[in-house]
Amino acid sequence: MYFDLAKELNTQQCTAAATLHGPLLVIAGAGSGKTRMLTYRIANMLQNGIAEESILALTFTNKAAKEMGERIRSLTNLPLKKLTTTTFHSFGMGVLKQYIQHLGFKNNFTIYDTNDRMALIKEVIQNLDYVVETFDLYELSTLFSDIKTKRKVFGANASDKIRNLYIEYEKHLKAYNAVDFDDLIMKPLDLFEKKPEVLQALRKRYTHILVDEFQDTSLSQYRMVELLAQESRNLCVVGDDDQSIYSWRGANYENLVMFERDFPERLEVKLERNYRSTGTILEAANSLIVNNQMRKEKKLWTDSGKGSSIRLIHPANDDDEASVIADEILMIHKKEDRPFSDFGVLVRTNSLIDTLETKFTERGIPTQVTGGQSFFDRKEIRDIISYLKVIANQDDDINLLRVINTPRRGIGRTTLEKMRKVADEHKCSLFSALTLMSVATDGQVKEGMQKTLKRFADMIENYHHQLFETRTQRNMVLRTLIGEIGYKAYLEAEHPDNENVVAFKMKGISMLCDMLGRWERNPENSKASIFDYLNRISLAGKENADEENAGKIALMTIHASKGLEFDTVYLAGVEDQYIPHARAIEDNPANIDEERRLFYVAITRARRSLIISSCEKRRRGHDEVASLPSRFLEEIPKALFDEEDPAKQLSSEQVVDKLRLLRERLAARNNV
């Protein structure tokens, strides 16, 4: 393994990659090659004798972590089995897997996703004899997350009901030996405080820490890495405050300021050379973002040429907008023989996606919509995963309640109420209560129901034995389970007149089994348990399962486009009330700044061509209302735009008149 950094990287990248020790802050603009820099930095660390097991590289998606690891292995030609490139939550899960017993949990804990959390909140409401319908479960879930992560605190006027709900929610999690997504960060922090020896052990192991997309870290995530690096001081953070767009999920771009405070001896490097976009696109982005005051000064540049102008189109309405975009993409695809994957169509909100998707479908254009239902959120997939969770962790009441009568076994509400009563009396899980009831001789449960309960309990115990105590392939065990419970027959009964629905759902279940098979055949998972697989699924987020996206147009929100790039980008719905969003306009200037950063991210997804669309009118409900172009367009030099209306063939005089009217309208709005 040998490479010359000076030949592989530009001057600024080389400076960052060659700095092996001490705190390092890298301000990396969009398309500036930060991943390449990080890859070479880690490879350089290894080349200079830093042990692979002492390196911890943290990012935000499994995909990014996997790609980073693969690049480093390719560059070094080393297996690097002890190198840790992972996400924050996966790292936290690993810490808990090793040490959670210090917090009173068992090591076989279950991770509750958003759906599990909502189900648990609903159960807690019912247990406290509150009326479920009087609460917004989503709002409660968000509030509990904010309280747990210390983004909010209960004020003096906080409702006693809400306080009680939160306390009981936490008690139930522990009773079910479960943690939620936030716990994967917060409980390691609890461990660091309550068991300093755990923190010290991790400090001893991870002496060199790197964080990608640092602007997306929350306060608690920053606290985690700051604590880990407090003694070694070897913390490298790479980010761009101009691309901080996730405040709504706890990201805090001010962590850059905190890093500067906590590590005053840091070296700071700026990556401003852009390898992605044309000069015109970068000039537009620079002119826009400079209007934000609280930011690190930087200016992206490229030596790849000016490129074509940014096209600004003004369709009559959203139907015309979708038709124009679809027709143009189809024409370019055929005329220039360009794959559909060259195109990205971005919008501010999900509400703008449907019309675009419909027009693409009508024209036979293959489309990948990001932001739809996750594979792992489909009911049939959740049913089977819930079975696995109960088999693995019999204390998991939430998932037991999901599967105990799916498919139907005749276990009715009365029996479930008796189970709950027995569980309360014996202070045990529902599964333990069920087992007790299946052998009880007190006559409270009829003989037929006892047999039903025993069959269910025996089945769960049998599959637990197969999954944990035999060498049978786990994907085959899962297929056997699906057959034994009669899930296909259950689907056929649910959809008696629609064979296609049944076939679709069973195909998804087969995919789940295949995924488990591929996972367990991976040599890296040879010593892993079914818990590891279930936790992997819980951390999968919105990633679709093995769906082939190649050759499809990407249709997504701007938030979902972060980290992606396309030869040609269409930005639809670039109007006030959408970007900036109406909520931001009504609130404070800080929100407008984040909306501007969001538009900046959208612009910088484009490599060669950028087309911006703002409609004259847009449908809202049953009405068409007049729209105004986004105020952000006025912050971009007009010389960069090629303004047109593709829906009409206009004479040059008509074009001049149309542009004049548009300018007058914009001026009138500014004088309001």
State pLDDT tens for residues 399-456.
Answer: 999 999 999 898 888 898 899 899 989 999 999 999 999 998 888 888 999 999 999 9
The segment with the largest mean pLDDT, out of 274-288, 510-524, 647-661, is 274-288
**How far is residue 583 CA from its own chain's centroid?**
23
In this predicted structure, the answer to whether residue 541 has a pLDDT above a threshold of 90 is no
In this predicted structure, the answer to whether residue 372 has a pLDDT above a threshold of 90 is no
Location of structure tokens 């037991």: 400
In this predicted structure, the answer to whether residue 4 has a pLDDT above a threshold of 90 is no
Terminal-residue alpha carbon distance, the chain: 65
* 82 noted as active-site residue: no
Q: What is the pTM of this model?
A: 0.82
Name the residue with higher pLDDT: 155 or 46: 46
Q: What is the pLDDT of residues 76-103, one digit of tens each?
A: 999 999 999 999 999 999 999 999 999 9
* Mean pLDDT (whole number) for 254-265: 92
Average of per-residue pLDDT values in the chain: 89
Q: What is the pLDDT of residues 148-164, one digit of tens each?
A: 999 888 888 888 899 99
* 213 noted as active-site residue: yes
In this predicted structure, the answer to whether residue 14 has a pLDDT above a threshold of 60 is yes
* pLDDT score at 651: 44
Q: Which of 113, 182, 213, 575 is catalytic?
A: 213
178 phi/psi in degrees, rounded to 5 = -130, 155
What is the rounded distance in angstroms from the CA atom of residue 439 to the CA atom of residue 432? 11
Q: Which residues fall within 8 angstroms of residue 417, CB to CB, at 6 or more apart? A: none
Specify the DSSP element, H or E, that contains 26: strand 24-28
Q: What is the pLDDT of residues 564-621, one digit of tens each?
A: 999 999 999 999 989 999 888 877 767 899 999 999 999 999 999 999 999 999 988 7
What is the rounded distance in angstroms from the CA atom of residue 672 to the CA atom of residue 668? 7
Cα dihedral 455→458→460→464 (10° resolution): -160
In this predicted structure, the answer to whether residue 262 has a pLDDT above a threshold of 70 is yes
* pLDDT score at 542: 39
| Lowest-confidence pick of 153-157, 256-260, 635-639, 641-645 | 641-645
Cα dihedral 79→73→225→564 (10° resolution): -140
Q: Which of 87, 243, 280, 302 is catalytic?
A: 243
* 396 noted as active-site residue: no
* Mean pLDDT (whole number) for 521-542: 78
Q: Which of 123, 180, 212, 242 is catalytic?
A: 212
DSSP conformational letter for 101: G
Q: Is residue 79 helix, strand or coil? A: coil
What is the rounded distance in angstroms from the CA atom of residue 346 to the CA atom of residue 663? 25
* pLDDT score at 484: 96
Q: Which of 148, 348, 605, 618 is catalytic?
A: 605
What is the rounded distance in angstroms from the CA atom of residue 65 to the CA atom of residue 67? 6
Specify the DSSP element, H or E, that contains 146: helix 137-148
* pLDDT score at 454: 94
Q: Which of 8, 35, 328, 536 is catalytic?
A: 35
* 411: its two tokens: 């276990």
Q: Which of 34, 295, 597, 618 is catalytic?
A: 34
Q: What is the pLDDT of residues 345-362, one digit of tens each?
A: 999 998 899 899 989 988
What is the rounded distance in angstroms from the CA atom of residue 441 to the CA atom of residue 507? 44
Cα dihedral 67→70→72→73 (10° resolution): 180
* pLDDT score at 666: 53
* pLDDT score at 531: 82
Confidence of residue 1 (pLDDT cuts 50, 70, 90): low
**How far is residue 488 CA from its own chain's centroid?**
31
* 243 noted as active-site residue: yes
Distances (CA, A) of 557 to 130, 369, 561, 608, 637: 38, 9, 7, 20, 25
What is the rounded distance in angstroms from the CA atom of residue 105 to the CA atom of residue 398? 17
What is the rounded distance in angstroms from the CA atom of residue 475 to the CA atom of residue 520? 8
Encoded amino acid at 52, one letter: E
In this predicted structure, the answer to whether residue 563 has a pLDDT above a threshold of 90 is no
Q: Which residues fall within 8 angstroms of residue 196, CB to CB, at 6 or more apart? A: none
